[in-house]
Structure 1
Amino acid sequence: MLTHVVFLPIGRLSRFADEIAREEKAQVFAIRIDCSDTRSVREAFEGIHSLGFVEVLVYNACQPISWHAPKFTDICLESFEKSVTVSTVGAFHCAQQVIPGMIERGKGTIIFTGSSASLNGISGYCELSCGKFALRALSQCLAKEFQTTGIHVAHVIVDGVIGPPRSVQRSDGESSADVSMDPDAIAQTYWHIHNQDKSAWTQEIDLRSSNQRF
Protein backbone atom coordinates (compact mmCIF):
# COMPACT_ATOMS: atom_id res chain seq x y z
CA MET A 1 0.00 0.00 0.00
CA LEU A 2 1.26 3.49 -0.86
CA THR A 3 0.61 6.31 1.57
CA HIS A 4 0.58 9.87 0.30
CA VAL A 5 0.96 12.51 3.00
CA VAL A 6 -0.21 16.06 2.40
CA PHE A 7 -0.17 18.70 5.15
CA LEU A 8 -3.02 21.19 5.02
CA PRO A 9 -4.45 23.70 7.50
CA ILE A 10 -6.04 21.74 10.35
CA GLY A 11 -9.49 23.26 9.96
CA ARG A 12 -9.71 22.13 6.34
CA LEU A 13 -8.32 18.61 6.69
CA SER A 14 -11.57 16.73 7.16
CA ARG A 15 -13.33 18.50 4.29
CA PHE A 16 -10.44 17.92 1.89
CA ALA A 17 -10.10 14.29 2.95
CA ASP A 18 -13.80 13.70 2.30
CA GLU A 19 -13.59 15.38 -1.11
CA ILE A 20 -10.55 13.39 -2.18
CA ALA A 21 -12.05 10.11 -0.99
CA ARG A 22 -15.26 10.82 -2.87
CA GLU A 23 -13.62 11.93 -6.12
CA GLU A 24 -10.93 9.26 -6.23
CA LYS A 25 -13.00 6.47 -4.67
CA ALA A 26 -10.07 5.83 -2.34
CA GLN A 27 -9.43 5.49 1.35
CA VAL A 28 -8.11 8.76 2.79
CA PHE A 29 -6.87 9.44 6.31
CA ALA A 30 -6.81 12.94 7.82
CA ILE A 31 -4.34 13.28 10.68
CA ARG A 32 -4.17 16.39 12.85
CA ILE A 33 -0.63 17.48 13.61
CA ASP A 34 1.23 20.38 15.16
CA CYS A 35 4.13 20.86 12.78
CA SER A 36 6.01 22.97 15.32
CA ASP A 37 6.06 20.14 17.88
CA THR A 38 8.60 17.36 17.44
CA ARG A 39 6.58 14.85 19.44
CA SER A 40 3.40 15.58 17.49
CA VAL A 41 5.20 15.00 14.20
CA ARG A 42 6.82 11.78 15.38
CA GLU A 43 3.57 10.33 16.72
CA ALA A 44 1.69 11.27 13.57
CA PHE A 45 4.21 9.49 11.38
CA GLU A 46 4.13 6.40 13.56
CA GLY A 47 0.51 6.07 12.52
CA ILE A 48 1.28 6.95 8.91
CA HIS A 49 4.06 4.37 8.60
CA SER A 50 1.71 1.69 9.91
CA LEU A 51 -0.33 2.22 6.73
CA GLY A 52 2.58 1.70 4.36
CA PHE A 53 5.44 3.34 2.49
CA VAL A 54 5.37 7.14 2.18
CA GLU A 55 6.10 7.76 -1.49
CA VAL A 56 5.17 11.44 -1.63
CA LEU A 57 5.41 14.17 0.98
CA VAL A 58 4.01 17.59 0.12
CA TYR A 59 4.71 20.14 2.84
CA ASN A 60 2.55 23.25 2.69
CA ALA A 61 2.31 24.45 6.27
CA CYS A 62 2.75 28.02 7.47
CA GLN A 63 1.58 30.13 10.34
CA PRO A 64 -1.59 32.14 9.50
CA ILE A 65 -0.81 35.79 8.81
CA SER A 66 -2.84 38.94 9.18
CA TRP A 67 -3.51 41.13 6.16
CA HIS A 68 -2.85 44.07 8.48
CA ALA A 69 0.91 43.64 8.61
CA PRO A 70 2.44 44.71 11.94
CA LYS A 71 5.50 46.91 12.19
CA PHE A 72 8.72 45.03 12.86
CA THR A 73 9.07 46.63 16.27
CA ASP A 74 5.60 45.34 17.20
CA ILE A 75 6.33 41.68 16.42
CA CYS A 76 6.82 39.60 19.56
CA LEU A 77 9.58 36.98 19.66
CA GLU A 78 7.12 34.15 20.31
CA SER A 79 5.16 34.98 17.16
CA PHE A 80 8.33 35.17 15.07
CA GLU A 81 9.67 31.87 16.39
CA LYS A 82 6.33 30.12 15.85
CA SER A 83 6.12 31.26 12.23
CA VAL A 84 9.66 30.18 11.37
CA THR A 85 9.19 26.90 13.22
CA VAL A 86 6.01 25.98 11.35
CA SER A 87 7.41 26.96 7.94
CA THR A 88 10.83 25.36 8.25
CA VAL A 89 11.44 23.33 11.41
CA GLY A 90 8.22 21.41 10.76
CA ALA A 91 9.42 20.64 7.23
CA PHE A 92 12.74 19.46 8.70
CA HIS A 93 10.98 17.10 11.12
CA CYS A 94 8.67 15.67 8.44
CA ALA A 95 11.50 15.14 5.97
CA GLN A 96 13.51 13.25 8.60
CA GLN A 97 10.53 10.94 9.13
CA VAL A 98 10.20 9.90 5.47
CA ILE A 99 13.72 10.05 4.04
CA PRO A 100 15.04 6.81 5.64
CA GLY A 101 12.23 4.78 4.09
CA MET A 102 12.71 6.46 0.73
CA ILE A 103 16.44 5.71 0.81
CA GLU A 104 15.71 2.07 1.61
CA ARG A 105 13.44 1.77 -1.43
CA GLY A 106 15.48 4.02 -3.69
CA LYS A 107 12.59 6.31 -4.55
CA GLY A 108 10.35 9.04 -3.22
CA THR A 109 9.26 12.62 -3.78
CA ILE A 110 9.37 15.53 -1.34
CA ILE A 111 7.81 18.81 -2.43
CA PHE A 112 8.02 21.95 -0.32
CA THR A 113 5.60 24.77 -1.11
CA GLY A 114 7.07 28.25 -1.09
CA SER A 115 5.54 31.62 -1.89
CA SER A 116 6.42 35.09 -3.14
CA ALA A 117 8.21 35.54 0.20
CA SER A 118 10.64 32.72 -0.67
CA LEU A 119 12.52 35.04 -3.03
CA ASN A 120 11.78 38.54 -1.78
CA GLY A 121 11.46 39.82 1.76
CA ILE A 122 8.02 41.38 2.03
CA SER A 123 7.72 44.56 4.04
CA GLY A 124 5.48 43.98 7.03
CA TYR A 125 5.69 40.21 6.76
CA CYS A 126 9.07 39.53 8.34
CA GLU A 127 7.90 36.31 10.02
CA LEU A 128 6.59 34.74 6.81
CA SER A 129 9.54 35.86 4.71
CA CYS A 130 12.17 34.47 7.10
CA GLY A 131 10.38 31.13 7.34
CA LYS A 132 9.96 30.79 3.58
CA PHE A 133 13.55 31.85 2.88
CA ALA A 134 14.77 29.11 5.23
CA LEU A 135 12.44 26.52 3.68
CA ARG A 136 13.95 27.20 0.27
CA ALA A 137 17.45 26.63 1.66
CA LEU A 138 16.35 23.37 3.29
CA SER A 139 14.93 22.19 -0.02
CA GLN A 140 18.17 22.91 -1.86
CA CYS A 141 20.27 21.17 0.79
CA LEU A 142 18.14 18.02 0.75
CA ALA A 143 18.05 17.90 -3.05
CA LYS A 144 21.82 18.03 -3.29
CA GLU A 145 22.31 15.39 -0.60
CA PHE A 146 19.67 12.85 -1.56
CA GLN A 147 18.98 13.06 -5.29
CA THR A 148 21.58 10.37 -5.99
CA THR A 149 19.64 8.00 -3.71
CA GLY A 150 16.53 8.31 -5.88
CA ILE A 151 14.72 10.93 -3.79
CA HIS A 152 13.35 13.86 -5.76
CA VAL A 153 13.23 17.02 -3.63
CA ALA A 154 11.59 20.06 -5.21
CA HIS A 155 10.58 23.55 -4.14
CA VAL A 156 7.46 25.07 -5.72
CA ILE A 157 7.05 28.83 -5.43
CA VAL A 158 3.37 29.73 -5.64
CA ASP A 159 3.67 33.40 -6.57
CA GLY A 160 0.11 34.66 -6.39
CA VAL A 161 -3.32 34.30 -4.90
CA ILE A 162 -4.97 30.90 -5.26
CA GLY A 163 -8.65 31.11 -6.14
CA PRO A 164 -11.37 28.52 -6.70
CA PRO A 165 -11.00 26.00 -9.56
CA ARG A 166 -11.45 27.28 -13.09
CA SER A 167 -14.74 25.39 -13.29
CA VAL A 168 -16.19 27.73 -10.66
CA GLN A 169 -17.58 30.93 -12.17
CA ARG A 170 -17.77 34.27 -10.46
CA SER A 171 -21.17 35.87 -9.95
CA ASP A 172 -20.44 38.45 -12.66
CA GLY A 173 -19.77 35.71 -15.18
CA GLU A 174 -16.00 36.17 -15.29
CA SER A 175 -13.91 33.07 -14.70
CA SER A 176 -12.08 33.12 -11.37
CA ALA A 177 -9.00 31.88 -13.23
CA ASP A 178 -8.77 35.31 -14.89
CA VAL A 179 -7.89 36.97 -11.60
CA SER A 180 -6.22 34.22 -9.56
CA MET A 181 -4.37 30.92 -9.79
CA ASP A 182 -6.33 27.74 -10.48
CA PRO A 183 -5.61 25.12 -7.76
CA ASP A 184 -6.25 22.28 -10.21
CA ALA A 185 -3.57 23.65 -12.53
CA ILE A 186 -1.15 23.93 -9.62
CA ALA A 187 -1.90 20.33 -8.65
CA GLN A 188 -1.06 19.21 -12.18
CA THR A 189 2.38 20.77 -11.78
CA TYR A 190 2.95 18.89 -8.53
CA TRP A 191 1.88 15.64 -10.19
CA HIS A 192 4.21 16.32 -13.12
CA ILE A 193 7.14 16.86 -10.73
CA HIS A 194 6.43 13.54 -9.04
CA ASN A 195 6.40 11.72 -12.39
CA GLN A 196 9.46 13.37 -13.93
CA ASP A 197 12.17 11.17 -15.41
CA LYS A 198 15.30 11.01 -13.27
CA SER A 199 17.38 12.36 -16.13
CA ALA A 200 15.60 15.73 -15.95
CA TRP A 201 14.43 16.54 -12.45
CA THR A 202 13.10 19.94 -11.43
CA GLN A 203 14.56 21.31 -8.21
CA GLU A 204 12.68 24.60 -8.19
CA ILE A 205 9.82 26.06 -10.17
CA ASP A 206 7.78 29.23 -9.77
CA LEU A 207 4.11 29.46 -10.69
CA ARG A 208 1.95 32.53 -11.33
CA SER A 209 -1.09 33.56 -13.34
CA SER A 210 -0.42 34.63 -16.93
CA ASN A 211 -1.98 38.02 -16.25
CA GLN A 212 0.26 38.68 -13.24
CA ARG A 213 3.23 40.94 -13.71
CA PHE A 214 6.65 39.92 -12.41
Structure 2
Amino acid sequence: MAKNPSEANDAAPVALVFGVGPRRGLGVALARRFAAEGLKTVIVARDEKRLARQEAALRAEGLDVFAFVADATETGAVASAFDFAQYHGRLALVVFNVGANRAAPALETTPADFEALWRQNAFAGFLVGREAAGRLAALGGGTLLFTGATASLRARNPFLAFASAKAALRAVAQALAREFAPKGVHVAHVVIDGVIDGDYARTNFPDFYKARGAGGRLKPDAIAAAYWGLHEQERSAWTHELDLRPFNEVF
Protein backbone atom coordinates (compact mmCIF):
# COMPACT_ATOMS: atom_id res chain seq x y z
CA MET A 1 0.00 0.00 0.00
CA ALA A 2 1.14 3.54 -0.69
CA LYS A 3 2.11 5.55 2.34
CA ASN A 4 1.81 9.22 3.13
CA PRO A 5 4.60 11.07 1.26
CA SER A 6 4.67 13.66 4.04
CA GLU A 7 6.37 11.00 6.17
CA ALA A 8 9.31 10.82 3.80
CA ASN A 9 12.92 11.45 4.64
CA ASP A 10 13.41 14.54 2.47
CA ALA A 11 17.20 14.15 2.46
CA ALA A 12 17.27 10.82 0.63
CA PRO A 13 17.16 11.02 -3.20
CA VAL A 14 14.84 8.52 -4.82
CA ALA A 15 14.69 7.02 -8.31
CA LEU A 16 11.45 5.57 -9.66
CA VAL A 17 11.58 3.10 -12.56
CA PHE A 18 8.39 2.09 -14.35
CA GLY A 19 8.74 -1.03 -16.45
CA VAL A 20 10.94 -3.64 -14.79
CA GLY A 21 10.69 -7.03 -16.44
CA PRO A 22 13.14 -9.92 -16.87
CA ARG A 23 16.29 -10.30 -14.83
CA ARG A 24 18.37 -9.68 -17.96
CA GLY A 25 16.69 -6.51 -19.11
CA LEU A 26 16.95 -2.75 -19.13
CA GLY A 27 14.60 -2.11 -16.19
CA VAL A 28 16.69 -4.20 -13.80
CA ALA A 29 19.92 -2.68 -15.15
CA LEU A 30 18.56 0.83 -14.54
CA ALA A 31 17.51 -0.02 -11.00
CA ARG A 32 20.88 -1.55 -10.26
CA ARG A 33 22.78 1.47 -11.59
CA PHE A 34 20.67 4.06 -9.78
CA ALA A 35 20.82 2.18 -6.48
CA ALA A 36 24.57 1.66 -6.85
CA GLU A 37 24.91 5.44 -7.27
CA GLY A 38 23.25 5.93 -3.89
CA LEU A 39 19.61 6.54 -4.79
CA LYS A 40 16.86 4.64 -3.05
CA THR A 41 15.18 3.00 -6.01
CA VAL A 42 11.56 1.98 -6.46
CA ILE A 43 10.79 -0.50 -9.23
CA VAL A 44 7.31 -0.74 -10.72
CA ALA A 45 5.61 -3.38 -12.86
CA ARG A 46 2.33 -5.27 -13.15
CA ASP A 47 3.68 -8.80 -12.59
CA GLU A 48 3.79 -9.11 -8.80
CA LYS A 49 5.69 -12.40 -8.60
CA ARG A 50 8.37 -11.44 -11.08
CA LEU A 51 8.75 -8.00 -9.53
CA ALA A 52 9.22 -9.57 -6.10
CA ARG A 53 11.98 -11.78 -7.51
CA GLN A 54 13.77 -8.78 -8.98
CA GLU A 55 13.47 -6.85 -5.72
CA ALA A 56 14.89 -9.78 -3.74
CA ALA A 57 17.76 -10.32 -6.17
CA LEU A 58 18.75 -6.64 -6.17
CA ARG A 59 18.51 -6.38 -2.40
CA ALA A 60 20.70 -9.49 -2.16
CA GLU A 61 23.33 -7.44 -3.99
CA GLY A 62 23.19 -4.94 -1.11
CA LEU A 63 21.11 -2.38 -3.03
CA ASP A 64 18.37 -0.17 -1.58
CA VAL A 65 15.53 -1.28 -3.87
CA PHE A 66 11.79 -1.42 -3.17
CA ALA A 67 9.06 -2.93 -5.33
CA PHE A 68 5.60 -1.50 -6.02
CA VAL A 69 3.02 -3.33 -8.12
CA ALA A 70 1.06 -1.04 -10.44
CA ASP A 71 -0.43 -0.86 -13.91
CA ALA A 72 1.00 2.24 -15.61
CA THR A 73 -2.15 2.61 -17.72
CA GLU A 74 -4.25 3.33 -14.61
CA THR A 75 -4.22 6.88 -13.26
CA GLY A 76 -4.74 5.95 -9.61
CA ALA A 77 -2.10 3.24 -9.70
CA VAL A 78 0.45 5.65 -11.16
CA ALA A 79 -0.24 8.25 -8.48
CA SER A 80 0.06 5.58 -5.77
CA ALA A 81 3.45 4.50 -7.11
CA PHE A 82 4.69 8.09 -6.84
CA ASP A 83 3.29 8.38 -3.31
CA PHE A 84 5.14 5.20 -2.35
CA ALA A 85 8.39 6.51 -3.85
CA GLN A 86 8.07 9.83 -2.05
CA TYR A 87 7.52 8.01 1.24
CA HIS A 88 11.09 6.76 0.88
CA GLY A 89 12.64 10.17 0.22
CA ARG A 90 12.98 13.07 -2.21
CA LEU A 91 11.98 12.22 -5.75
CA ALA A 92 14.94 12.96 -8.04
CA LEU A 93 14.79 10.67 -11.08
CA VAL A 94 11.90 9.02 -12.92
CA VAL A 95 12.20 6.63 -15.86
CA PHE A 96 9.36 5.47 -18.06
CA ASN A 97 10.64 2.17 -19.42
CA VAL A 98 7.29 0.49 -20.04
CA GLY A 99 7.16 -1.16 -23.43
CA ALA A 100 5.00 -3.57 -25.38
CA ASN A 101 5.53 -4.70 -28.93
CA ARG A 102 3.73 -7.05 -31.30
CA ALA A 103 4.65 -7.62 -34.93
CA ALA A 104 1.75 -7.75 -37.40
CA PRO A 105 1.17 -6.48 -40.94
CA ALA A 106 -1.36 -3.65 -41.24
CA LEU A 107 -4.21 -5.88 -42.47
CA GLU A 108 -3.64 -8.24 -39.54
CA THR A 109 -3.52 -5.46 -36.93
CA THR A 110 -6.86 -5.33 -35.17
CA PRO A 111 -8.28 -2.17 -33.62
CA ALA A 112 -7.90 -3.84 -30.22
CA ASP A 113 -4.21 -4.56 -30.88
CA PHE A 114 -3.59 -0.98 -32.02
CA GLU A 115 -5.31 0.48 -28.96
CA ALA A 116 -3.56 -1.88 -26.56
CA LEU A 117 -0.10 -0.88 -27.80
CA TRP A 118 -1.08 2.80 -27.70
CA ARG A 119 -2.27 2.45 -24.08
CA GLN A 120 0.82 0.60 -22.92
CA ASN A 121 3.35 2.84 -24.66
CA ALA A 122 1.88 6.30 -25.24
CA PHE A 123 -1.01 6.66 -22.80
CA ALA A 124 0.95 5.15 -19.92
CA GLY A 125 3.84 7.45 -20.81
CA PHE A 126 1.50 10.42 -20.62
CA LEU A 127 0.20 9.37 -17.19
CA VAL A 128 3.66 8.75 -15.75
CA GLY A 129 5.20 11.79 -17.45
CA ARG A 130 2.50 14.17 -16.29
CA GLU A 131 2.71 12.92 -12.71
CA ALA A 132 6.51 13.04 -12.70
CA ALA A 133 6.79 16.50 -14.24
CA GLY A 134 4.33 18.03 -11.81
CA ARG A 135 5.91 16.50 -8.73
CA LEU A 136 9.51 17.20 -9.78
CA ALA A 137 8.67 20.81 -10.64
CA ALA A 138 7.09 21.25 -7.20
CA LEU A 139 10.35 19.98 -5.67
CA GLY A 140 12.45 22.41 -7.69
CA GLY A 141 13.61 20.03 -10.40
CA GLY A 142 14.78 16.55 -11.28
CA THR A 143 15.10 14.19 -14.21
CA LEU A 144 12.43 12.46 -16.30
CA LEU A 145 13.60 9.94 -18.90
CA PHE A 146 11.62 8.02 -21.53
CA THR A 147 12.75 4.85 -23.28
CA GLY A 148 12.13 5.11 -27.01
CA ALA A 149 12.95 2.88 -29.97
CA THR A 150 13.92 2.97 -33.62
CA ALA A 151 10.17 2.96 -34.24
CA SER A 152 9.90 6.31 -32.44
CA LEU A 153 11.43 7.89 -35.55
CA ARG A 154 10.26 5.74 -38.44
CA ALA A 155 7.58 3.14 -39.09
CA ARG A 156 7.97 0.00 -41.13
CA ASN A 157 6.21 -3.30 -41.67
CA PRO A 158 5.25 -5.21 -39.51
CA PHE A 159 5.30 -2.64 -36.70
CA LEU A 160 2.57 -0.15 -37.65
CA ALA A 161 0.87 -0.15 -34.24
CA PHE A 162 4.11 -0.16 -32.25
CA ALA A 163 5.63 2.68 -34.28
CA SER A 164 2.48 4.77 -33.96
CA ALA A 165 2.56 4.36 -30.18
CA LYS A 166 6.29 5.05 -29.85
CA ALA A 167 6.04 8.15 -32.05
CA ALA A 168 3.26 9.40 -29.79
CA LEU A 169 5.41 8.75 -26.71
CA ARG A 170 8.19 10.80 -28.28
CA ALA A 171 5.74 13.68 -28.74
CA VAL A 172 4.72 13.41 -25.08
CA ALA A 173 8.39 13.71 -24.09
CA GLN A 174 8.95 16.72 -26.35
CA ALA A 175 5.90 18.57 -25.03
CA LEU A 176 6.83 17.92 -21.40
CA ALA A 177 10.41 19.04 -22.03
CA ARG A 178 9.31 22.33 -23.51
CA GLU A 179 6.85 23.01 -20.71
CA PHE A 180 8.86 21.86 -17.70
CA ALA A 181 12.52 22.53 -18.53
CA PRO A 182 12.11 26.17 -17.40
CA LYS A 183 10.86 24.75 -14.09
CA GLY A 184 14.03 22.73 -13.58
CA VAL A 185 12.86 19.37 -14.91
CA HIS A 186 15.26 17.69 -17.34
CA VAL A 187 13.14 15.63 -19.75
CA ALA A 188 14.99 13.37 -22.19
CA HIS A 189 13.91 10.77 -24.73
CA VAL A 190 16.33 7.92 -25.42
CA VAL A 191 16.09 6.16 -28.79
CA ILE A 192 17.23 2.56 -28.43
CA ASP A 193 18.23 1.90 -32.04
CA GLY A 194 18.81 -1.82 -31.98
CA VAL A 195 18.14 -5.00 -30.04
CA ILE A 196 18.76 -5.05 -26.31
CA ASP A 197 20.79 -8.05 -25.21
CA GLY A 198 18.20 -9.34 -22.77
CA ASP A 199 15.56 -11.95 -22.15
CA TYR A 200 12.67 -10.04 -23.74
CA ALA A 201 14.09 -9.89 -27.26
CA ARG A 202 15.57 -13.37 -27.01
CA THR A 203 12.18 -14.81 -26.08
CA ASN A 204 9.85 -12.73 -28.27
CA PHE A 205 12.01 -12.17 -31.36
CA PRO A 206 14.46 -15.11 -31.30
CA ASP A 207 15.41 -15.05 -34.99
CA PHE A 208 16.11 -11.32 -34.99
CA TYR A 209 17.97 -11.60 -31.68
CA LYS A 210 20.21 -14.36 -33.03
CA ALA A 211 20.83 -12.59 -36.33
CA ARG A 212 22.29 -9.52 -34.63
CA GLY A 213 25.09 -11.53 -33.00
CA ALA A 214 26.62 -10.86 -29.60
CA GLY A 215 28.42 -7.75 -30.85
CA GLY A 216 25.31 -6.33 -32.47
CA ARG A 217 23.12 -6.06 -29.38
CA LEU A 218 22.99 -3.26 -26.81
CA LYS A 219 24.14 -4.24 -23.32
CA PRO A 220 21.61 -3.23 -20.63
CA ASP A 221 24.33 -2.01 -18.26
CA ALA A 222 25.81 0.22 -20.99
CA ILE A 223 22.38 1.74 -21.67
CA ALA A 224 21.92 2.31 -17.93
CA ALA A 225 25.24 4.17 -17.82
CA ALA A 226 23.95 6.53 -20.53
CA TYR A 227 20.74 7.15 -18.57
CA TRP A 228 22.78 8.00 -15.50
CA GLY A 229 24.88 10.38 -17.57
CA LEU A 230 21.73 12.22 -18.61
CA HIS A 231 20.70 12.54 -14.98
CA GLU A 232 24.07 14.03 -14.07
CA GLN A 233 24.10 16.67 -16.82
CA GLU A 234 24.49 20.28 -15.75
CA ARG A 235 21.43 22.33 -16.71
CA SER A 236 23.35 24.68 -19.02
CA ALA A 237 23.87 21.78 -21.44
CA TRP A 238 20.92 19.41 -21.23
CA THR A 239 20.33 16.71 -23.83
CA HIS A 240 16.73 16.20 -24.85
CA GLU A 241 17.11 13.30 -27.28
CA LEU A 242 19.87 10.71 -27.28
CA ASP A 243 20.19 7.77 -29.67
CA LEU A 244 22.05 4.62 -28.66
CA ARG A 245 23.07 1.77 -30.98
CA PRO A 246 25.79 -0.89 -31.29
CA PHE A 247 28.97 0.16 -33.08
CA ASN A 248 28.10 -2.01 -36.09
CA GLU A 249 24.42 -1.06 -36.42
CA VAL A 250 23.50 0.42 -39.81
CA PHE A 251 21.65 3.75 -39.56
TM class by shorter-chain length? Answer: 0.7 to 0.9
Q: Which residue of 2 aligns with 1:213?
A: 250
Residue 190 (structure 1) shift: 0.4
Residue 163 (structure 1) aligned with residue 163 (structure 2): no
In the aligned structure 2, how far is the partner of 1:138 from the partner of 1:112?
Answer: 9
Q: Which residue of 2 aligns with 1:87?
A: 121
Computed over aligned residues only, the root mean square deviation of the Cα atoms, in angstroms, reads 1.8
Amino acid aligned to 2:60: R
Q: Which of 31, 49, 54 in structure 2 is aligned with 1:16?
A: 54
Q: Which of 93, 96, 111 in structure 2 is aligned with 1:56?
A: 93
Amino acid aligned to 2:155: G
Q: Which residue of 2 aligns with 1:74?
A: 108
Higher RCO structure (Cα 8 Å, ≥6 apart) = 2
Structure 1 residue runs of 5 or longer lacking an equivalent are 165-175
In the aligned structure 2, how far is the partner of 1:163 from the partner of 1:101?
Answer: 33
In the aligned structure 2, how far is the partner of 1:138 from the partner of 1:132?
Answer: 10
Q: Show CA shifts across 1:173-195 (max 9, x none).
A: xxx75231111111110000000
- Normalising by structure 2, we get a TM-score of 0.73
**Partner SS for 1:29:** strand
Q: Show CA shifts across 1:5-56 (max 9, x none).
A: 1122345533433343233x23211112212222322233332332232211
- Normalising by structure 1, we get a TM-score of 0.85
Structure 2 residue runs of 5 or longer lacking an equivalent are 1-11, 22-44, 199-212
Q: How many residues align?
A: 199
The question of whether the paired residues in 1 share the 8 Å contact of 2:105 and 2:158 is answered with: yes
Q: Which residue of 2 aligns with 1:35?
A: 72
Q: Percent same amino acid among aligned pairs?
A: 35
**Partner SS for 1:209:** coil
In the aligned structure 2, how far is the partner of 1:39 from the partner of 1:177?
Answer: 41
In the aligned structure 1, how far is the partner of 2:247 from the partner of 2:179?
Answer: 34
In the aligned structure 2, how far is the partner of 1:183 from the partner of 1:14?
Answer: 20
The question of whether the paired residues in 2 share the 8 Å contact of 1:114 and 1:155 is answered with: yes
The structure in which a higher percent of residues are strand is 2
